[in-house]
Amino acid sequence: MQHHIYFSPGMFGFARLASYDYFGHVDRALHKRFRDAGEALETHVSDALPTESVRRRSARLATQVDRTSKGEGLIHLLGHSTGGLDGRLVASPSARLPIAVDALAWLPRLRSVTTMNTPHYGTPLASFFATSKGQRVLYAMSAFTFVGLTLGERPLAAASLLIGILGRGDRAMGLDIRILDKSIDGLLALVDDARSPDVRTYLNAIKADQGSMLQLSPEAMDMMLAGFEDRPGVAYQSTAAMSPTPSPGNWMGTLGHPWSSISLALFTALHAITSHHDRRYPCAAMPRDATDRRPWAGDEAEATLVRALGASPDLHANDGVVPMRSQIWGKLVWAGLGDHLDVLGHYHDKTPEADVAVRHHDWLTSGSAFDDAHFDALMDAIAKGMLEAR
C-alpha cells in the first residue's frame, strides 16, 4: 500500500532549509518503520511560512497535498508544534480555507492526523512573542535554532543576550534589542547557507508576518477550539512531552561547561514563561464540572501520563515552549520527558562520531535526558498509529 506523510513545522521550525532538514530524523525513522512493515512511503514537508496565521498555513498544506499526492495512496498529516494545528484545521469539516473546493478532493484518503507537542489549548509563550519586543526575540530564537542545529555549535553571545531579554521582560530596553540584532547578524555570518535566498526568505517572513503568535495565545485558542471539528473516520493521535523543572541540581551539572550553563539559563527563562497560566485559560482540557478545577485529559490519556511520568503532571509542566497538557488531543500514543525539539531528534548524541551517519544536535540544555531509546519508542508509537489507520 502506498502512503504519503506530510510534515508541518511549527515555532522556530522550518522545512528543508538550505542544507539542513528539520524533519530529517523523523523522516528516516518513519521510512524504516513503514519499510519494515512492507508498506511504501513517500514523505513531503509543508512549505508554510513559520509564523503566518494557521489558516494561511493550512491552505498552503492543503494545496501541497492536492498537488503532490498524485490522486493515489493513503494520506497522513504530521505536525510539530503549530504544525499540528495546520493538520487539524485542514481535516476539519467545518474549515473554510481560502482555496478552491476541488483542492480538497483528497480528503477521503486522509487516514490520520498526528500532533507532536502542539499547543491545542494555547501557550503563554505565544503571548510573550506577540509583544513588540517578543517579536524580535522570536526572530532571534529562530535564527539561533537554525544556526545551532546546522552547525551543532554553541552561539554563546546570542544566547547570553536572549537570557537577559527573556529574564527582564518589559524591563529590557531598546539597547538590548539593538545589540541582539547585531549579534544575530554576526551569528548568521558563520553559516554559509545563511546567505542563500531560502534562508533569508525564511527569516524575513518571521519579521513580516507573526499572525500565528496572536492565535496561539491561550485566550485566542479558547475561541479557535470552538471552530475546530474532528473528521469522522480519521485517526487523531498526539504525543506530549515535558522537561524537568530547572533546579539547583541542574546547575551543578553545568559547572565547568560554559555553554551548558548559558544554555540551561536560556531554557530556564523559556520554561518559566511557559509555566505561567491564567486560571480562566489554563492551556488544558478541563472537566465539565465547573467546581472541579483539576486538569483532565480523559481516563486513557491520564493513565498514559501516569505510566510515563509516575504521576499526573500539573498545569505548570511544559517542554520549554508548550504546556504539556495543551499537547493532548485524540489518542495520546506517547508521553515522556523531553523538550520541544528533543522529540524531533534534536537531542544530545552520545554515539561516537564514527558510528553514526547523521548526528543529533541538541537545541538547549533542558535536563530531560532524552536519548535514542526515547526517540525510537516515540517513532514506534507514531508509526503504529498511522499503519493501523486504514
pLDDT tens-digit readout, 102-115: 999 999 999 999 99
Distances (CA, A) of 329 to 84, 87, 120: 10, 12, 7
List the domain boundaries for the chain. 1-122+221-390, 125-213
Query: What is residue 136's DSSP assignment?
Result: H
Beta strand 20-21 with 110-116: parallel, antiparallel or unpaired? unpaired
Contact indicator for 57, 82 with CB cutoff of 8 Å: yes
Q: What sections of 242-324 are H helices per DSSP?
A: 248-252, 258-275, 299-309
Where is pLDDT greater, at 184 or 137?
137
Where is pLDDT greater, at 364 or 18?
364
* Predicted structure pTM score: 0.85
List, edge to edge, every strand of the sheet that includes 2-8: 40-45, 2-8, 74-80, 110-116, 235-242, 331-337
Q: What's the pLDDT at 22?
A: 80
Matching residue, cell 495543551? 326
142, three cell numbers: 529562530
Q: What's the pLDDT at 36?
A: 98
Question: How confident is residue 213, by pLDDT bands cut at 50, 70 and 90?
Answer: confident
What are the φ and ψ backbone dihedral angles of 282, each rounded to 5 degrees?
Answer: -80, 5
In the CATH scheme, what architecture does the domain 1-122+221-390 have? 3-Layer(aba) Sandwich (3.40)
Matching residue, cell 494557521? 54
Burial of 164 (0-12, 13-18, 19+ CB in 10 A): middle
Burial of 72 (0-12, 13-18, 19+ CB in 10 A): exposed
Helix (H, G, I), strand (E, B) or coil at 119: coil
Q: Mean pLDDT, to the nearest integer, of 220-242?
A: 93
Q: What's the pLDDT at 171?
A: 42
- What digits encode the pLDDT tens for the residues 152-200? 545 555 555 555 555 554 444 344 445 455 555 555 555 545 455 666 6
- Cα 26 from Cα 22, distance rounded (Å): 9
Q: What's the pLDDT at 97?
A: 92
Where is pLDDT greater, at 24 or 116?
116
- What digits encode the pLDDT tens for the residues 354-383? 455 666 667 677 888 899 999 999 999 999
Is residue 10 left, alpha or beta, with left meaning phi > 0 and alpha meaning psi from -120 to 50?
Answer: beta
Cβ-based neighbour number of residue 175 at 10 Å: 8
Cβ-based neighbour number of residue 151 at 10 Å: 15
